[in-house]
Amino acid sequence: MKYKVRKSMRILAGLILFAAASLFSSSLHAQELRGKITGRVMDPNGAAVAGATVKVTDVARSTTTTFTTNADGLFDALYLLPGTYQVVVEASGFKKSLQDKVQVEINQTRHLDISLDVGTPQETVTVTAEAAQLNVSDANLGQTIDRKRVDELPSIHGDPYTLMGLSPGVTYTGSSRLDRPFEPTHIAGFAMNGVRGIRSDLLIDGAPSTATANANEVIASYVPPTDITQEFKVQTTTYDAQFGNTEGGVTSIAIKSGTNQLHGTAYYWIEPGGWAANDFFGNSRGQARPFTFSNRPGFSVSGPVIIPKLYNGKNKTFFLFSYEGIRDSRPRFDANNVWVPTAALASGDFSAYVSKVKIYDPLTGTFNATTGAITNRTPFTNNIIPANRIGPVAKAVLPFFGSPKGGPAAGFLVNGNIFDSTLAEKTRKYDNFTIKIDHNFTEKDRFFWRYSWYNRDSSYNNYTGTDYIGDRFGFISKQTGLDEVHTFNANTVLNVRYGYNRFIRLSDAPEGQAGFDLTTLGFPASYNSMIPTALRRFPRFDFSCSSSCTGTPLGNGHTNENRPVDSHFVTAVLNRIQGKHSLKFGGEMRIYREDDNFRSNNQTGQFGFDNTYTRIGSASAADVEGLGAFAAFLLGYPTTTQLVRAADYSEYSKTYGFFANDDIRLSKKLTLGLGLRWEFETPLVERQNKSVSGFDFTYTQPLEAAAKANYAALSDTILKTTLGLTDINAKGGLLFASKDTGRGLYNTPKNGFLPRASFAYQWNDKTVFRGGFGLYQGFLGERRGDVIQSGYSQTTTVPLTTGPNGGPLPVLLSTAFSNTTIVEPTGNSLGRQTALGQNISFFNQNPKVSKQARWSFGIQRELRGGWVLDAEYVGNHGYDIEITQNINALPLKYLTTDNSRTTAMQTNNSNLGGSVKSPFCTNPSGSVCVSGALYPNAGGTITRRQLLLPFPEFGTINGTNNDGKSWYNSGQFTLGKRFSKGYDLQFAYTRSKWIEAVEYLNAADPLPNRAIAAQDAPNRFSMSGFYEFPFGKGKQFLSHASRWADAIIGGWQIEGTYTFQSGFPLRFANDAFYLGGKISIPKNQETLTRWFNTDAFVSVLGATPTCAAFPTGSTNCASPADHLRTLPFYFADVRMQTVNNADLGLRKDIHVNERMKVQLRMEFINAFNHPLLSTLSGGGANVSPSSSAFGTVSASNQQNYARRAQLSAKFIF
């Protein structure tokens, strides 16, 4: 056996070399959707029968492929579409063997050992094959979601990916509210075996079906309707070297293919709004159930391609065509926290709210030239702004924002007065098409082509019914694939495949705004003309509170984006049977490209309002529901103004992979899998070189000499003596693509060798032991993240003017940008002096590729009654994980370590936060300083904290390193029974612990903090099943009922899924003074008003010592900014709410005849109406010790939907 293993390794090494030489000529492949039948033909004594003829026939298509067993009696029937097969074996001196109804699932190796009886070929022994219960061929982990489950289990909006959660080892990390098939970032958001969500690969018909959204996220570029999904497989771990280009799992979907019979469906789903339950917060606010509806029509047709009198494609050419559409509307609950003005407010009358907020005249008050503060403004008489003070722009803009739809929400003055969910969101159009052609040229050549397309066009947040509020948002997905299988001989098969994805994100203002004429709103013509017509939209008005409040006036911000993501791939796999070795080798090449022509109505102009100019003075004051901000809008005094010139980019990268894999059937009981994969990804490239590449740590800024001299002349005892800063420097600067480095934005390593090994040992007919180890790696190119474009965008603002009291005052809206010169981007022209005084980021020039080492060991056991138990231990260790670190952080020696606010701590905080004359000013006694947000004061001051940074001429400098690690251990259990005796049940349970070190508690820490992972869910249980009522024809009861009686009592079935998932750890984002003791409280004591033990912290709630102890005020509960944090971000026993969800359905089949039936269905999603108030997407308990809501779950929106109903009628033939 040692010789055979060594021989196998030599074969593997040779195949790797051959694959490396072959990629550029055939660009080989890696992933597979189809299954195979592998087996051994034996005589009655168990000896191998060589030279036997094996014919494998696809029953639905009548296509046959012929094989011959080798000297060891082995055969492999490869690239079989999921379905039912007939296997016929003939050999001289033996009876013919016919194995009937052999089921092959997606990406399944169906093991079929056949024993021949002595006799003549004219005699036939027929055996009806049972569905494979045990996996005796490999150690791969996951779950096959068969056709019955795909078609019949409740799935909201007909999205098959919702059933991924039935597999063990997965954890849902997406938003439960974003569940439609055109919300690609969330629908497939599952973490797998210790790899974070949205990092696993998705395949359709064996080809990648992914696009990118955010850094290190892989999203679903196309989602097929369940109606055309044959089945799919969730592989949380695969030890086959054929699979790669992902550090997580692989989910493969097989689209139906046509058969020799014409089949079709036509269906219509509705989600009646009247059947939906109200959500938790709707009930608590006393609001009526929001209006919702969803209509989903669709059809599919498939069969042989027949052109009368021209072509008969039976047994040869087959087609599938399908359509599905969605038209729906659903509430956007953020409408609860915005409002539009009443008629009184629009006229400037705030008198009804004088007891809550006073409106002051911005043109009054006393200005202190030394401190820059304004005090004692004069309030408007009776809290009414005179009509002649309301600006012309406000008068022109107000009609576009609409009118209230009713009164305010309970407990508010005006907030929530536009709650009208019929206008909240409307999917104008979602249309999904697929066409697929399968063709058999000969028995040796099989081919298929598929094209899929969808278009989603939605409007968002158009709460008032006008065309000037909200967003128009959409996706366009186009996907095609070509696949050819060529059989050279019984032992050698080649598969070649090409695929293309195009996924486009589109967003813009609502229709009718392109080229908007700003002069119609009272803006000057000079402002209108400075913006290109193609970029001009209705300008942006934003409202905010200068201090915390709930509810603001309605704004109209939106983006304007055209962002296509393209991916090409070309692949091939060569399969060869050599003795007991099933060999395959090949590789793949993928090209990723993304263009982003990003725009927003900031490019027309953005005007931000708060109560800065309508409160009594400069000191912050509460702005109840943003009324002061709205008053500033009426008066025409924005706090912020900006006009943006945004960058666009065109980026791309390539990946290459080669592999060799050998499945060795060492004996009837033992199969050994050995594989080796090599992957390489090119660096990201911006086609026009419009990107930052790296950071030059040694570069000396030209201003350093003057800065050193200015600092030497600075007299500040605290800075130079107490803090010990004797000198400063101005080192470092950004590097740019092509100009400073190569076109590639960084260097990528070439050491991506990924070994795989596994075994499957069949102890007896009912028991299999399996185990394996594999190494996997992440990505470095376009999927890792986008280009960095410091210098390629620019914002123009309107400078402040002097008011009548001598204080600063912005230009009126009606004269905005009239005398302003647009500041154009500098690009890379400033070189290393780009972005001085600003926050910057750069690429690590020598990154590593993150690795995941995964292993498993388990047992499968067939139990009585057709039940199968699978118990697995699965471990995963991630290393070289890329993490972000601010390299311009305050050194740790300046951070205080006290666990309560002391005088020494307060003094240190004051010392660091105090300002001195900036040495970076060209004239330290004047006001000419380095540009940027760090030096905004007219006097040219800078904080001492800033001067203590390693690179004080910059703000935050974010770089990356590969110091991240993760550890995952789990027990995974499945118990299942295939459909028989009228029912089917599947259970999956995962018990796991996931630890990560991927974040720094303090930016200057040498290593990231090790803590429970953000996506750790220690318990996850899922269940799915069907039960057919035993009434009607062919059933246990009333089996001889008449046709009409059977139409009533027969054909009923119930089905459902259930999921329980532990809550994710609660993130303590804010540092806090931890007093010791247990932070968690017993689960049965958790309430929305006390989610964890707040007494473990110094907080406003009255813990000892109290917040007011030093010096005064509740804000002293929070740690100062310059405190050494030791409190972890996460605790294993302080978690968000658990997921507890059941989806139930009732189905009725009415048979018209043998080939036609009508199916009626009723489904309830979240059937028991369990609210989910906290997830990774939102909600959670308040963790700010200085907040009076500390420890409470104060989410304003439910994170899942209340119970919904789906009704459908479907015609099937």
Tokens coding 212 = 């990118």
What does the alpha-carbon distance between residue 665 and residue 90 come to, in Å, rounded to a whole number?
A: 23
Q: Which residue has the tokens 């993490």?
A: 883
- CA 360: distance to chain centroid? 46
| Weakest mean pLDDT among 30-39, 92-101, 748-757, 849-858 | 30-39
Examine the pLDDT at 175 and tell me if it is beyond 70. Answer: yes
% pLDDT > 90, the chain: 54
Q: Which residue has the tokens 């938790």?
A: 280
pLDDT class for 11, splitting at 50, 70, 90? very low
Tokens coding 296 = 């989903």
Q: What is the pLDDT of residue 476?
A: 94
Residues in the chain: 1213
What does the alpha-carbon distance between residue 278 and residue 301 come to, in Å, rounded to a whole number?
A: 38
Integer angstrom CA distances of residue 818 from 610, 794, 812, 815: 23, 18, 10, 6
Tokens coding 734 = 């950004």
Q: Which amino acid is at 755?
A: P
Write the secondary structure of 1001-1033 as one string of H (helix), E (strand) and C (coil): CCCCCCCCEEEECCCCCCEEEEEEEEEECCECC
pLDDT class for 253, splitting at 50, 70, 90? very high
pLDDT tens for residues 1146-1196? 999 998 888 899 999 999 999 999 999 887 777 788 888 878 788 988 766
Integer angstrom CA distances of residue 360 from 357, 814, 1068: 10, 21, 39
Q: What is the pLDDT of residue 331?
A: 63
Question: Taking all residues of the chain, what is their mean pLDDT, rounded to a whole number?
Answer: 87
Tokens coding 74 = 């082995």
Q: Is 2.60.120.260 the CATH classification of the domain at 31-128?
A: no
Q: Is 103 helix (H, G, I), strand (E, B) or coil?
A: strand
| Weakest mean pLDDT among 69-78, 421-430, 666-675, 859-868 | 421-430
Classify the C-alpha dihedral 321-327-332-338 as positive or negative: positive
% pLDDT > 70, the chain: 90
What does the alpha-carbon distance between residue 1018 and residue 1062 come to, in Å, rounded to a whole number?
A: 6
pLDDT class for 1102, splitting at 50, 70, 90? low
CB contact burial 1070-1109 (16+ within 10 A = b; e otherwise): bbbbbeeeebbbeeeebeeebbbbbbbbbbbbebeeebee
CB 888 within 8 A of CB 957: yes
Examine the pLDDT at 378 and tell me if it is beyond 90. Answer: yes
What does the alpha-carbon distance between residue 321 and residue 317 come to, in Å, rounded to a whole number?
A: 14
pLDDT tens for residues 536-569? 888 888 888 755 566 666 666 666 778 899 999 9
* 964 HSE (CA, 13 A, CB side): 24
CB 562 within 8 A of CB 209: no
Tokens coding 1022 = 């899922």
pLDDT class for 463, splitting at 50, 70, 90? low
> Mean pLDDT throughout 323-343?
78
Examine the pLDDT at 995 and tell me if it is beyond 50. Answer: yes
Q: Is 937 helix (H, G, I), strand (E, B) or coil?
A: coil
pLDDT class for 20, splitting at 50, 70, 90? very low
Q: What is the pLDDT of residue 1019?
A: 98
Q: Which amino acid is at 100?
A: D
pLDDT class for 333, splitting at 50, 70, 90? low
- 184-187 contacts: CB < 8 A, separation 24 or more? 184/211, 184/213, 184/219, 184/220, 184/221, 184/223, 184/475, 184/503, 185/213, 185/214, 185/217, 185/219, 186/1177, 187/159, 187/161, 187/162, 187/220, 187/223
- Alpha helices per DSSP H over 438-558: 525-529
Examine the pLDDT at 945 and tell me if it is beyond 50. Answer: yes
Examine the pLDDT at 26 and tell me if it is beyond 60. Answer: no
Examine the pLDDT at 968 and tell me if it is beyond 90. Answer: yes
What does the alpha-carbon distance between residue 858 and residue 140 come to, in Å, rounded to a whole number?
A: 11
- CA 128: distance to chain centroid? 45
What does the alpha-carbon distance between residue 418 and residue 431 come to, in Å, rounded to a whole number?
A: 31
What is the DSSP track for 241-289?
Answer: TT--S-SS-EEEEEE----SS-EEEEEEEEE-GGGPPP-HHHHHHTPPP
- Which has the higher per-residue pLDDT, 668 or 434? 434
pLDDT tens for residues 606-625? 898 999 999 998 887 888 88
Q: What is the pLDDT of residue 933?
A: 44
pLDDT class for 1116, splitting at 50, 70, 90? low
Q: What is the pLDDT of residue 119?
A: 81
Pairing verdict, β 83-90 and 141-145: unpaired
Tokens coding 10 = 């030599």
Residue 355, number of CB atoms within 10 A of its CB = 8
- Which has the higher per-residue pLDDT, 1032 or 655? 655
Query: Which CATH code of 3.30.70.870, 2.170.130.10, 3.40.470.10, 2.40.10.10 fits the domain covering 141-334+421-510+558-578?
Result: 2.170.130.10
Q: Taking the domains of the chain in order of start, what are their residue ranges? A: 31-128, 141-334+421-510+558-578, 345-418+511-557+585-646+793-825, 1019-1060+1139-1162
Examine the pLDDT at 7 and tell me if it is beyond 50. Answer: no
Q: What is the DSSP letter of 1074?
A: B
If residue 144 lies in a helix (H) or strand (E), which one and from where to where?
Answer: strand 141-145
Give the dihedral of Cα atoms 699, 703, 705, 708; nearest 10 deg: -100
Q: What is the pLDDT of residue 811?
A: 81
